[in-house]
Amino acid sequence: MSDHSKVAYQVMWNRLISVVEEQAQALVRTAFSTSVREAGDLSAGVYNAKGEMLAQAVTGTPGHVNAMADAVGHFIRRIGRQNMFPGDVYITNDPWEGTGHKHDITVVTPSFLDGKLIGFFACTAHVTDIGGRGFGADANDVHEEGLYIPIMKFAERGEVDRTLMSLIRGNVREPDQLVGDIYALATCNEIGHRRLIDMMREFALPDLSGISDFILTNSRQATLERINALNPGKAKGHMRIDGYSAPIDLHVELTIEKDRIVSDWEGTSGLDKKGINVPLVYTKAYACYALKCAIAPEIPNNAASLAPFETVAPENSIVNAVFPAPVALRHVIGHMVPDTVYNALDQLLPDTVPAEGAGCLCNFQLSLRPRMDASAPADARRAEVLTFNSGGSGARPTLDGMNATAFPSGVMTMPVEATEQVGPVIIWRKELRPDSGGAGQHRGGLGQHMEVGARIGHEFDFSAMLDRVNHPALGRRGGEPGGATTIARSDGTTMQGKGRQFVPDGEKVIMGFPGGAGYGDPADRDPEQVKRDLALGYITPEHAAQHYGLSDADIAETLERANKGEDF
């Protein structure tokens, strides 16, 4: 290949990444659900005619896009190439052929150029409601978790299947939101298709075979070079987390060998009775993401750069749940996969990976209704409100952890204003949680305090999706644990970290989201950094004295300077 051709293909590769980013941003702008518009819980990608992912949008979550990398192959197999036409749009929420649970809608659109099938666009978005028991861990099998949409045509030759739309609308609690999201997904794929055709005509490309070979060959080569530069070896990692009613043990054996890295989850806990089980496609997505972040972070994600990171797990373990296991909260366990991988990788690549963090998102959903025990105001109404929140990330080998930041999902915390406008919800408090970051040479990121209730005249069911109540994030290299999750009603009633729980009119749910763990011995932390944390309110005087040995005189001086508004 000539240097000129290489330059041209590199330009096209960058254009493809821009195309899918525009695709994702179009979804953000047009989606109805706040989980998409505000939190960015979505993904978008472009694929060649074989169904191999060529590029993914920067906007989106690794759980979605890395799982979606395998999805288009399922669509090709189910629909059949002979049944694909210009103007078609395909849809599913199959947990095992999509992205892991029914609350993710995946839409795939074939791209045609001059009547020839040249590739596909795909996108995924988390929807607020899909029917059934609602978004939560309480189902006993996948059938209870909502409406199932097998891989099928949402539209054929530009004509939407009205019967399908009627069935969807009749089985969900927020039909306008859901149908609006589906149309947004289809539209963002169409935008991607238009931009792709513009690029192909500009470069006089008859198909994507040339650019596809260039992307996949170079990505695979670059990834293998990174892997083969590492010392071969094996190491085991373990993490214990809350589970639903009993603790869950995640075990992984990581093997670095020529041309591949394998994560083997033998020994991990078996299936749970409730909906926290994880389809293998989702486990694979986050195990791969963790390794790519540590080993080859700057190589763009595509089919070839993901392939050398292999994942195996025993069937019917909690990280390889098969049909009909309940899987609605597969993210709670799945988001713990990267830190478990890092517990092993730290033994093979010291001073590379962070301490454990909050892991899973601190999500909850409120199912609100007019109070049933007394008369309610005339304007009281039913609503489903889902909110995404974050604990702290783990401290890094050379830096503090990030406050209220979702690692590994990358999902953004929802603004209070956006949450309150979709239903009769009041967020009474949302602020950083002092002392929740684990002490260390580098401090763990802080979690949050949050208090939520409903407007007068409403009661609600609160579906909790929290972890680290009993098993906080653990430090690395002498770092201390992060703060544990707390949850209770304002009347003092204890609440569980997972499950649907009733909250009467006038009561609030009070939560403390977990902090990330520390990295390194707290005695080695720069005293000036300790004083800065104290001045900013990240730690209390008691914490500064107990964990960092700051003297009473230094504490008093620091607080005095802070009260005067001095910089630290």
Q: Residue 434 CB: number of other CB atoms within 10 A? A: 19
Residue 500, both tokens: 């649907």
Report strand pairing: 260-264 vs 309-312. parallel
DSSP 356-383: P---S--EEEEEEEE-SSS---TT---E
pLDDT value of position 1: 61
Interaxial angle between packed helices 527-536 and 552-563, expressed in degrees from 0 to 180 and rounded to the nearest 10: 50
| Cα–Cα distance for residue pair 220/231, rounded to 1 Å | 19
Q: Is the pLDDT confidence value at 463 over 70?
A: yes
2-19 per-position pLDDT tens digit:
665 889 999 999 999 999
Q: What is the DSSP letter of 69?
A: T
Q: Is 117 strand, coil or helix? A: strand
DSSP 177-200: HHHHHHHHHHHHHHHHHHHHHHHH
pLDDT value of position 6: 86
Mean pLDDT of the region 193-220:
96
Q: What is the DSSP letter of 125?
A: E
Mean pLDDT of the region 234-245:
97
> Quick check: 178 and 129 in contact, CB under 8 A?
yes
pLDDT value of position 4: 58
Query: pTM of the entire structure?
Result: 0.95
pLDDT value of position 567: 86
CA proximity to 125, closest of 105, 108, 107, 145: 105
DSSP 324-361: TS--TTHHHHHTTHHHHHHHHHHHHSTT-SPPP---S-
pLDDT value of position 40: 87
Which of 208-212's residues contact partners 24+ apart within 8 Å by CB, and which partners? 208/48, 208/49, 208/54, 208/118, 208/119, 209/48, 209/49, 210/9, 211/9, 211/12, 211/13, 211/16, 211/54, 212/48, 212/52, 212/54
Q: Predicted confidence band at 61 (pLDDT cuts at 50, 70, 90)? A: confident
pLDDT value of position 258: 97
397-408 per-position pLDDT tens digit:
999 999 999 999
Mean pLDDT of the region 157-182:
97
| Cα–Cα distance for residue pair 113/92, rounded to 1 Å | 25
Mean pLDDT of the region 384-391:
95
Q: What is the DSSP letter of 263?
A: E
> Quick check: 293 and 25 in contact, CB under 8 A?
no
pLDDT value of position 347: 98
Q: Predicted confidence band at 92 (pLDDT cuts at 50, 70, 90)? A: very high
Which is more confident, 1 or 372? Answer: 372
pLDDT value of position 2: 63
Q: Predicted confidence band at 69 (pLDDT cuts at 50, 70, 90)? A: confident
Q: Is 228 strand, coil or helix? A: helix
